């Protein structure tokens, strides 16, 4: 998707470690964990028969306040999607989820402060592979809704 859109990016491969998360990838690549962005698949429940899948992009060293997130998007509750649901919605395996080129177009939300980073690293669609991009690429390709839901772990 990035190549098709003519977006400049720098690929970064590293040795993936199960449950290593952004802490491991940041250390492996020698970058601040704050600039490594997680692609989290969540489900919003509004009282209807099925949850609404969505993506939230979050700093690697922060977590999502699911209560705050639900409040900001007008949902009754928001919770992480199961690994099986993540694959169903995105076509990617957990640990290798990119917000680009998902199986279904999902609504994307982004922690507002990510948009003011100089550069960020985000999953490129497989485990052990991040792409370095400018934050405006997110805005240009994903039209994410900015939210303020980051909390310290």
pLDDT in tens, 45-75: 998 888 999 999 999 999 999 999 999 999 9
Structure tokens at 142: 């994903």
State residue 47's pLDDT score. Answer: 82
Residue 97 and residue 103: Cα distance in Å, rounded?
11
**Do 54 and 70 touch, CB atoms closer than 8 A?**
no
- Looking at the domain that runs over 10-151, which CATH code has it been given? 3.90.960.10
Residue among 114, 124, 111 at smallest CA distance from 25: 124
pLDDT in tens, 72-101: 999 999 999 999 999 999 999 999 999 999
Domain ranges of the chain: 10-151
- Helix/strand/coil (H/E/C) assignment for every residue in the chain: CCCCCCCCCEEEECCCCCCCHHHHHHHHHCCCHHHEEEEEEEEEECCCCCCEEEEEEEECCCEECHHHHHHHHCCCEEEECCHHHHHHHHCCCCCCCCCCCCCCCCCEEEEHHHHHCCCEEEEEEECCEEEEECCHHHHHHHCCEEECCEECC
The backbone torsions φ and ψ at residue 46, rounded to the nearest 5 degrees and listed phi first, read -115, 5
The mean pLDDT of the chain is: 96
pLDDT in tens, 139-151: 999 999 999 999 9
State residue 49's pLDDT score. Answer: 86
């Amino acid at each position: 998707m990035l190549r098709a859109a003519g977006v400049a990016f720098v690929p970064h491969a590293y040795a993936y470690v199960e449950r290593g998360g952004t802490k491991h990838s940041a250390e492996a690549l020698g970058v601040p964990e704050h600039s490594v962005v997680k692609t989290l698949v969540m489900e919003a429940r509004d009282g209807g028969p099925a949850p609404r899948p969505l993506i939230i992009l979050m700093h690697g060293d922060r977590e999502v306040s699911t209560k705050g997130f639900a409040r900001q998007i007008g949902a009754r509750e928001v919770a992480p999607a199961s690994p099986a649901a993540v694959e169903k919605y995105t076509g990617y395996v957990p640990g290798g989820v990119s917000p680009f080129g998902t199986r279904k177009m999902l609504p994307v939300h982004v922690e507002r402060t990510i948009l003011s980073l100089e550069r960020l690293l985000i999953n490129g669609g497989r485990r052990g592979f991040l792409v370095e991009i400018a934050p405006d690429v997110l805005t240009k390709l994903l039209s994410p809704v900015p939210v303020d839901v980051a909390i310290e772990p």
